[in-house]
Structure 1
């Protein structure tokens, strides 16, 4: 072992130790390695920094932006709604459906991008169903990794290994070569995770009290008890009326709080659009009950609670917040009517708590006092503007629904079309994957699914730094003779035991290296070892290369084994040991299954 190899191995061990103890942060460790490797003289500065120009790094960054576009348009949350409705209260069904969706979509897209897209979906489902997010995000990363075993283009390691096969003069993989193995592994993973998820425990409390929901706020202010929903019938005289001119003839002012209309393929809500015209099929939310004589062609629908709650149903467009009257507030001593909230702040007041008690239907005429609170609704942007108003309002903690705001909800069809085009371009290979992803980003920007500030915020820079910092290790180990040393040692130790044992050893070696470096770097390192080993034995390189591909995608044991794992660390509050505790047993299962299945499907000779 030469001095250069000793230095590189020492740096690798040092980075592993820092990853294991969690100090400093993983991205800081990556930067330390970027600084240290050129100082060894093994790699030049350009070679060490080459990861910043790596197409796969740019691809991952672009897919973060695509995922944010799907979130901003509400697509991911709607998928989460579908998963929640379909799974019901069954935790097992939630996990099965989530893993299937991620794995199948990941078969034609970057697994890292898919996981980035589905993290908000998983968090949304966890919030709605009560399932621990720790028990959802780890299965999410498992499914993302396993998706790499379903098609050739599903993950970068597959492409790296295929390129090495072709470079060495062998036949490469077909598009569906990994699929038979991937389907078996996916089925095993779903069964395994349904048992192993209990080892992850419950969510880690990040501090702070529980935030309130729309339903709780509506109940606290008595809004649920006094508001009613009416659908406009085809013969209603209200059709064509301006919202501001609607007269329900209730004997006292009957305010239309919300107008729900269908626009294109989805329903939209309006609160302060006085010029909006009422149409057949619209839904009016009003604050009085209308008797049959006054109702006319208005059809009473379900009340504000339940699945048809218009406020909760449109929470990604329609905001809600509590506002407290400060001592110096402009509103002190005035009534809600005189404040003209809709005209001044583009918000509708739903109710008032006066001196600690819900004021009921008479709240518009009550003189407001210091400490009184208003429940307001309207666009989330209008609510945020109220925070900076000079009129002396204190915006209290926003409800939990703010976490699922979809500011570009009307652009959802364009976001879906952009993603579908990207997938088609990737599957057909008309353009490189990174160009396909960048085209999707540009289309989302053009259709206002995402803006530049949110695009920059969407990119998870620590993940990119981690990938860039670890990639140079593969080149450094190859250049210092580490690869040749491994091949010689492998053949000397188990070369006489037969190809099946060699397959098992190669899988175990790949999985072990994957404990410390990314699966892409592991594939770069192990592909030439596997192909050279097969050549020395006179065997077909395909099963040996496939073993490396399967092992590289089984990077379950550490948070640094794959960007997929790194993505879920923070939202799941996982520790290094969580991955090893759940991932190590399953890696052994996959090893056994792979060694049994690969030789019959891809003959050794």
Structure 2
């Protein structure tokens, strides 16, 4: 092993470790590597920054905009409405249609975005039918991942593998090259979930016909954390706003104020802050010490069963999911000034199925976390329309609210159809086809420039650009040959089918710790070099990388798609293991059998 290779491997291991622990963010890790690689002298500046000029990076950015066009015009939500009407209360039919809908949309737009859209749809159906969300969330995530196996543009690893083939001097993959395999796996996935859903149970009880205030408060332990105090006539708090209340070293958060049997939510905005008055009843999220009660002339009141329920006409209460592109990821509620910005008070936070205890306002939020918030009902509707990555659960907004360009839906579908035709026929390069679709979406006012820029997931772009130089560095320093030689030492005499299985397993295992995008960047060159050593076609080996990168079924952290459904489905780590591992084995077997048939060795 040369010194240069050792340096590259140290940087690669450091990147993988940081990806696995989630600190710092993936895009920050990518930037660190972009800075580190040229400093080692192994790569030149042009080689390090070649990713910024890669057509596939532009293609991926354009596809984010295409997906935004489908969302803004309400195409995705109308499909959800159709699903609810067609499925009725038949659970098996619902799962089949739900998975088909998610897979179909995921074949032409981000699977993570599709899953985020369908979570509220599925919860709404669960509320109306009494079906447990545990029976619906896992099928959604499974279909979202399988959608990556249906078309060339369905997921980033497909495009990365295609680009690596082109760089190695081979023809790229076609738009529908691996659709037959994806359809077989989708059919098996649907059949599998009709059986495997029984392994998930219903969480002890099915979802009630309608989620009540009481059940939400109990879920987040708000009922046991909240205390009531009456403001006395001599209280220094009288006249203070809820934002300015200061009890010295002891911090108290006023959740709401009851006044003369009328309720006004304690939502502070830049234009208005709720003032405390004598005789008010304050609902506070912790017990106030006796010494503070006397000092501030507060009287402790007994708990009341009515709590939030009696104020439901004035007060909204709902769960908010931190979406995949949320500005809240990695930030605290206090840093975001959530209360002031969104006119909503957060009553509790759940992370990985558990309530965050203590000062949850200072705990960093993560994708998949849920917040229990209270405020005016229209504040939740406004939150749904903002492009901040929050998903309001159990409070579906009207399509007109969520889809500001609803009347342009036919034009959005026509624009996507033009893109697909151009990609399938090969009249123009894929990146030009996607940019043409973006221009058409803009011309027809399906998207505007502001929403187009917001739609691009820049962390993903930076991740790709930052990881692509590693493939070049490993090739130049002999790292690819080292991995291939090791693979041959272990599996070389076992035949090509075993070698294909080996490529799949290695990719799937790496994908447990690293994003599937980074996994594809690392494994695609290895697959091509392995094929060259065997003097076989590279296509079946690259296909195994593509299929394995999308087969991230085994843990809740294998993919953002899985992370999103953890809290709405109340899943544990073990739920993903017992459902995901067997199906991953199924996908492995199907891939080993079908890939050599469609892509001869």
Smaller-chain TM-score range?
0.5 to 0.7
Distance, in Å, in 2 between the alignment partners of 1:532 and 1:177 is 21
Deviations 1:195-248 (A, max 9, x none): 5566598799xxx96999xxxxxxxxxxxxxxxxxxxxxxxxxxxxxxxxxxxx
Distance, in Å, in 1 between the alignment partners of 2:418 and 2:13 is 43
Whether 2:471 is the aligned partner of 1:450: answer no
Distance, in Å, in 1 between the alignment partners of 2:70 and 2:541 is 39
Distance, in Å, in 1 between the alignment partners of 2:149 and 2:455 is 27
Kept in 2: contact 1:123–1:133 (CA 8 A): no
Report the counterpart of residue 19 of structure 1 in structure 2: 19
Equivalent residues in 2 for 1:203-602 (5 A)?
396-398=376-378, 400-402=395-397, 404=399, 405=401, 406-557=403-554, 582-599=579-596, 602=599
* Number of residue pairs matched by the alignment: 431
Report the counterpart of residue 271 of structure 1 in structure 2: none
Kept in 2: contact 1:411–1:447 (CA 8 A): yes
Deviations 1:71-105 (A, max 9, x none): 33222211110111112234443332232233345
Kept in 1: contact 2:419–2:433 (CA 8 A): yes
Distance, in Å, in 2 between the alignment partners of 1:407 and 1:127 is 21
Distance, in Å, in 2 between the alignment partners of 1:325 and 1:169 is 64
Equivalent residues in 2 for 1:125-204 (5 A)?
125-130=122-127, 139-151=139-151, 154-155=154-155, 157-158=157-158, 161=161, 176-194=176-194, 196=196
Deviations 1:337-362 (A, max 9, x none): xxxxxxxxxxxxxxxxxxxxxxxxxx
**Greater C-alpha radius of gyration:** 1
Distance, in Å, in 2 between the alignment partners of 1:210 and 1:471 is 51
Deviations 1:257-301 (A, max 9, x none): xxxxxxxxxxxxxxxxxxxxxxxxxxxxxxxxxxxxxxxxxxxxx
Report the counterpart of residue 82 of structure 2 in structure 1: 82
- The change in CA–CA distance for 1:38 and 1:518 in structure 2 (over 3 A counts) is farther
Q: How far did residue 475 of structure 1 move?
A: 2.6
Report the counterpart of residue 95 of structure 2 in structure 1: 95
Structure 2: runs of 5+ lacking an equivalent: 217-261, 273-310, 316-341, 344-374, 382-394
Q: Cα RMSD over matched residues?
A: 4.5
- The change in CA–CA distance for 1:134 and 1:418 in structure 2 (over 3 A counts) is farther
| TM-score, structure 1 normalization | 0.59
Q: How far did residue 489 of structure 1 move?
A: 1.6
Deviations 1:364-383 (A, max 9, x none): xxxxxxx9x999xxxxxxxx
- The change in CA–CA distance for 1:587 and 1:127 in structure 2 (over 3 A counts) is same
Kept in 2: contact 1:504–1:591 (CA 8 A): yes
The worse-fitting range, judged by mean Cα deviation, of 29-38 and 161-170 is: 161-170
Q: How far did residue 483 of structure 1 move?
A: 0.5
121, 126, 130: which is aligned to 1:124? 121
Distance, in Å, in 2 between the alignment partners of 1:45 and 1:75 is 43
Distance, in Å, in 2 between the alignment partners of 1:543 and 1:191 is 26
Distance, in Å, in 2 between the alignment partners of 1:422 and 1:584 is 36
Distance, in Å, in 2 between the alignment partners of 1:567 and 1:135 is 15
Distance, in Å, in 1 between the alignment partners of 2:166 and 2:434 is 26
Q: How far did residue 515 of structure 1 move?
A: 3.3
Distance, in Å, in 2 between the alignment partners of 1:433 and 1:211 is 50
